[in-house]
A and B are shown apart, each in its own frame.
Chain A
Amino acid sequence: MTLTPVEPTIKSRPVYAPLEPRPGHLHLIIADGEGADAVTDMLAKTSDAGQLLASAHLMYCPGPNGTDLTERLRALGALQFFRAPTIPALLPRLKRVLVDAHMGSQFYLAGTEGLCGQAETAIMQTGFPASAIQKEHRGSTVRRVQCVHCKGITENVATDPFQCSHCGLSLFVRDHYSRRLAAFQGVNIDAEDPGDVPPSVVRFK
């Protein structure tokens, strides 16, 4: 499994590149699902993975498709390793760790767009520059989508259109991405012709 190919469709879409090891005082590595492979690929590129891991805090949760590579990452022997069951369960710990992270820290995000986006938002809120954050998209392409009408966010959207998990409207996924919200925009598909909803197709897997 390699970097998930993303069609360069829109300008607000995040750019993902393979993770590269960089010098730093603290290495915060956050991954879900197949993102674990991106982490081990990154470590294979440095001649001194042991030194990087000796100052690394690794946080991981299974992907939305069930991929769970916890044991592979735990076995790496990072200074600190944490396994969360889901992204929402991972974020409070990340936010606490960020309070003590100093300039010179390196951030490695790998896995689904939902994981990368939410972790990036938390990091940027603390004032770290975007240049300290690397992201690599691996695994599932399901999307995190904000309903523009009720503002609720539906996780792991696979089909287009889909039903908002908060207000129940049928939404199409607009190719418009907010880094602040770490979400794509969902817009009511039958607003002009209520009830006229085309059949859902699986667009994100």
Chain B
Amino acid sequence: MSLDFKPGAFNDFFREETFRGDFTYRNSPHNIRRFPFPFDRDDYMYAVNMEPHVPGRIGSVFEKTFDVDEHYVAEMIDRAKVLADDPLRCQSLPHMTLAGWDLLELIMESKARDYPEWFSLEKNGNRWRWINRPLGIDHSFTFLDEATLPYGPMEYITRQTQGDFTLQDEREGTLWMDAGIATSQADWSVDFDIGMSWHEWHAPVPLAHEMGIFDRALKFLLKLQHGAPVRRFNWTMTVNPLLDTAPETYPKWGPTKTSLTQENLGQKQHLRVELQTLYRLPRSNAIAFDIRCYLASFDELMTVPKWARRLHRVVRDIHPDLATYKGFIRNQPAMVEWLSKYDDGKPTSPGWWPEEA
């Protein structure tokens, strides 16, 4: 497969690594400490847990609107491979093109503002010039004119942005997932879910419906205002640093779940965290949903003692329905056995940040 971009710049920062085959993905020591560890206490249950997506602690994944980290270039290469293998991973119903332009504008403006050394955007009326230096892209196009882009606007910009995205149209008092791209998804299918309403696409999630979680979250999101994005965490477990855990390819990666031993678990078992952010878009009134995936191996997480203690307690005590839905029930006992060696029983401080050094 040939890439339509030219990586290579800033390669002292962006890692050359793979999310498939030999799985050379690793986090640098610096990147481990900024990992968005999702547990703010020693146990876990569903919660809506939305908070304003405002600039957060310097150096954290919350510092910028769209976090660009050391895995950026490698992730974009992996996305290009997934889309070449299966174009159905990116779909947009015809009425969602304007929302795609809204998203393109939001991302380009944010990245050019937050990372001027890597991205720049020049506007002359609707004639725009976009420069993405890490990917070697310098492209002039006409805003709102699809014919001047090589892909639809959503696909164009998300091929240059970490995270899966869906675009929700709002009508009939609910949200409709009418466009999306997913190459780093935790086992849900764009092709199957596209066109579904809010409650339809969340149907397979256990417990949360009965808890009223989805009714409350929908009510909250329908009030989402332009310029006031929100964020929350979700998480699951993945064997190997495999970004693309798609249901489409489950027969290929499913057997890896049986490959864990006490010897290789620390290297192979990864905590998979989704930083989910939601933005109301200005022209289309659609809502953009960014599902950004962060992976860290158990070995990497154990370098932070607070996280080591807490991860053991969360995995040990989680509701079995959630362990089943998240797909790690078969490996839960092995994980608990492995993690228990890193839990000395000491109390942990509140909140998810690592202890200060």
Q: Which residues of A145-163 are within 8 A (CB) of B?
A: 146, 148-149, 151
Q: Once the chains bind, are A148 and B192 in contact (CB under 8 Å)?
A: yes
**Per-residue 0/1 for B236-259: is the Cβ within 8 Å of any A Cβ (1 yes, 0 no)?**
000000000001111100110110
- Which of B196-204, B220-228, B288-296, B308-316 forms part of the interface with chain A? B196-204
> Which chain A residue lies CB-closest to B209?
A11
Q: Once the chains bind, are B200 and A191 in contact (CB under 8 Å)?
A: no
Which residues from chain B contact A175 at a C-beta distance below 8 Å? 203-204
**CB contact under 8 A between A191 and B254, given known A148-B192, A148-B247:** yes
Which residues from chain A contact B251 at a C-beta distance below 8 Å? 149, 169, 188, 191, 194
A to B contact number (C-beta, < 8 Å): 70
Query: In angstroms, how far is the closest chain B Cβ from the Cβ of A148?
Result: 5
**CB contact under 8 A between A178 and B196, given known A191-B255, A192-B257:** yes
Count of residues in A whose CB is under 8 Å from the partner chain:
25
Is B343 an interface position by the 8 A CB rule?
no
Q: Once the chains bind, are A12 and B201 in contact (CB under 8 Å)?
A: yes
Is A106 an interface position by the 8 A CB rule?
no
Query: In angstroms, how far is the closest chain B Cβ from the Cβ of A127?
Result: 11
Which residues from chain A contact B180 at a C-beta distance below 8 Å? none
> Which chain A residue lies CB-closest to B330?
A192
Q: Dominant SS at the B interface?
A: helix
What is the bound-complex CA distance between A12 and B188, given in angstroms?
Answer: 14
Which residues from chain B contact A151 at a C-beta distance below 8 Å? 88, 191
Is B153 an interface position by the 8 A CB rule?
no
Q: Once the chains bind, are A185 and B330 in contact (CB under 8 Å)?
A: no
Q: Once the chains bind, are A178 and B193 in contact (CB under 8 Å)?
A: yes
Which residues from chain B contact A169 at a C-beta distance below 8 Å? 251
Q: Once the chains bind, are A12 and B248 in contact (CB under 8 Å)?
A: no
What is the bound-complex CA distance between A175 and B200, given in angstroms?
Answer: 11
> Which chain A residue lies CB-closest to B198?
A11
Query: In angstroms, how far is the closest chain B Cβ from the Cβ of A98?
Result: 18
**Per-residue 0/1 for A180-196: is the Cβ within 8 Å of any B Cβ (1 yes, 0 no)?**
11000101100111100
Q: Once the chains bind, are B192 and A149 in contact (CB under 8 Å)?
A: no
Which of B88, B195, B204, B247 touches A180 (beta carbons < 8 Å)? B195
Is A72 an interface position by the 8 A CB rule?
no
Which residues of B come within 8 Å of A, CB atoms? 88, 172, 189, 191-196, 199-204, 209, 214, 247-251, 254-255, 257-258, 330
6 shortest interchain CB distances as A-B pairs: A191-B254, A180-B195, A12-B203, A12-B200, A11-B203, A192-B254
